[in-house]
Amino acid sequence: MLIKRDADSKLRGEDISPRDITDHGIYLNRRAFMTGVAALALTPWGREAEAQGSLRPLQATKNPAYQVPDALTPYKSVTTYNNFYEFGTDKGDPAAYGASLKTRPWTVQVDGLCAKPKTFDIEEVLKFPLEERVYRLRCVEAWSMVIPWIGFPLSALLKRVEPTGQAKYVEFTTLVNPEMFPGQKRGIFGFTLDWPYTEGLRLDEAMHPLTLMTVGLYGQVLPNQNGAPLRVVVPWKYGFKSGKSIVRIRLTSEEPKTSWNRAAPSEYGFYSNVNPEVSHPRWSQANERRIGELRRRDTLMFNGYGDQVASLYAGMDLKKFY
Amino acid sequence: MSYKARVALKTAVWIASLWPLGVLVRGFLTDDLGANPIDYITRTLGLTALVLILTSLSMTPLRILFGWSWPIQLRRLLGLLAFFYVSLHFSVWIGLDHFFDWRRMWQDVLKRPFITVGVLALVLLIPLAITSTSGMIKRLGGANWRLLHKLAYVIGGLGVLHFLWLAKKGRTTPFYYAITLAVLLGVRSWDWLRKRRLAARSRPLPEGERASARS
């Protein structure tokens, strides 16, 4: 009898503690992830990438604290639909011309208002404990993705150089090299962004645990079109705030000049927090198209990261500091 | 031009104009429209419409520059095909892009200049499409009809503005369209001025008018 009861309860799953049951959201994410990776390995395009050596696995521990319930955007979309003007203004240009970027040797100079300025070799950067985090990415153009990034908190890198009390901002500079970045050559009409591409954050934003120094995605080394070999990811801000292919990180006392702000100040502010209530002059930011979905979805305040970051902006008029 | 040649020419225009739509339909069926298909469809339809509008506006300049009369016969067909693409472009914006969210779309029409001029171009195209039949030309009378269809220039200008204003800084394609439109209008203006001068020279004018024609 006892045995029978035991068998029954096992059939009902009573011997499994709730602790051991995978959360449905994580389960779905894992499925999407595996589907993404499997699909990637099977496609001719994935095999081609593998043959070229651009598909290189990167070990990282999944950080369960940074997951989202939304389904992941397929790897193919993440790596073929990009805004990265260094390669060209078309969304397909970064994937088409990405191969011209050489990511070795690569160093990143971390300096400015800090006690121990240091130039890190990329191999040294890759020695920071890497973790995988799934973040929403919201582009200022009202489309969005969900991406499993690999990286480590930017704060870990900044702490190494010991920012001084005067440091209030951080400036990120992208590589300038028209040989590697065809988009940096002057076009017929001459006007493009002023190179180098620079972006910036307030120091407290840069030190926030969500701000990720990123070296990979989907279990792979960061593809060139996504900002290899290292970029920053700031998930509560519009995508252009997250500088790519970074060669310098500088601590400053004054708000850094940022590229899109210089190009069109009324359209792109320094803060550029995702905010459904503040329109871009030419389109509404109230909703967005998630890549792969048909219907638009409502845009979330701070891209859904309000619980973690809203306090950074307490008392600020976000319509004024857009 | 012989009847056969005319049929061949019009068939070629039909095929060339419907080609982009065919490519879109094939891409849709094979799921090959990229990561953001709705955006891609909207852009392709809009761009094809603008190309057709500018092509229809280049028929007269071709006659002015090369003395060809045959392109004029294609003008109506090109205009109607442009209207067809503009309608599709607009339908996709309503049905797929905004899913019949009328309130938000109306706000966009009022607040976003590039959408305002786009919708205005569509509205202005409607009377031109309606009056495109031979019966309508007769009913309106040639002079009235020609005056009404001068709106095509305005529509071309609005279409180019729509493209210029929606593009981000750094994109150069809209400027090629703006330059094309400027050249087409330039040829017409040059022809108009030249004709006016010729007329002034060949016609004996009273003193006062002659002076003003020269100024």
β-strand pairing of A246-252 with A107-112: parallel
A 186-215: CB under 8 A from B: 187-189, 191-193
- Which of B152 and A5 is assigned the larger pLDDT? B152
| Cβ pair A191:B169 closer than 8 A | yes
Q: Cβ contacts (< 8 Å) between A84 and chain B: which residues? A: none
pTM for the full predicted model: 0.81
Q: Which of the following CATH numbers is that of domain A2-313: 1.10.3720.10, 3.40.50.450, 3.40.50.300, 3.90.420.10?
A: 3.90.420.10
Q: CB–CB of B43/B89 below 8 Å?
A: no
Q: Which residues on chain B place their C-beta less than 8 Å from a C-beta of chain A?
A: 34-36, 38-39, 96-99, 101, 104, 107-108, 111-114, 165-166, 168-172, 175
Is residue A51 scored above 90 in pLDDT?
Answer: no
Cβ–Cβ contact A96 with B under 8 A: no
How far, CA to CA in Å, does A294 sit from each of A72, A291, B38, B39, B196?
A: 15, 8, 8, 11, 56
Residue A233 and residue A213: Cα distance in Å, rounded? Answer: 6
Residue A125 and residue A117: Cα distance in Å, rounded? Answer: 15
Q: CB–CB of A154/A232 below 8 Å?
A: yes
Is residue B198 scored above 60 in pLDDT?
Answer: yes
User: Please, what is the angle between helix B151-166 and helix B173-202, to 10°?
Assistant: 150
Q: Residue A15's pLDDT is what?
A: 59
Which among B143, B214, B166, B173 has a CA at the least distance from the CA of B54? B173
Q: Residue B8's pLDDT is what?
A: 92
Q: Cβ contacts (< 8 Å) between A189 and chain B: which residues? A: 172, 175
Is residue B3 scored above 90 in pLDDT?
Answer: no
| Element at A291 (helix H, strand E) | none
As given in the structure block, the two tokens for residue A125 are 């950067």
Q: Which residues contact B202 (CB under 8 A, 6 or more apart)?
A: none
Structure confidence by residue, pLDDT tens digits, A142-200: 999 999 999 999 999 999 999 999 999 999 999 999 999 999 987 656 567 889 999 99
Arithmetic mean of pLDDT over chain B: 89
Can you list the positions of beta strands (E) in chain A? Answer: 61-62, 107-112, 118-121, 131-138, 143-153, 169-174, 198-202, 212-217, 220-221, 231-233, 246-252, 287-290, 297-298
Apex A157 CA angle, A151 and A163, nearest 5 = 150
Domain limits, chain A: 2-313
> Tokens 């008392």 correspond to what residue?
A315
Domain limits, chain B: 3-196
Q: CB–CB of B205/B213 below 8 Å?
A: yes
Is residue B37 scored above 90 in pLDDT?
Answer: yes
Q: Residue A256's pLDDT is what?
A: 97
Arithmetic mean of pLDDT over chain A: 87
Cβ–Cβ contact A284 with B under 8 A: yes
| Cβ pair A81:B107 closer than 8 A | no
Residue B97, amino acid = D
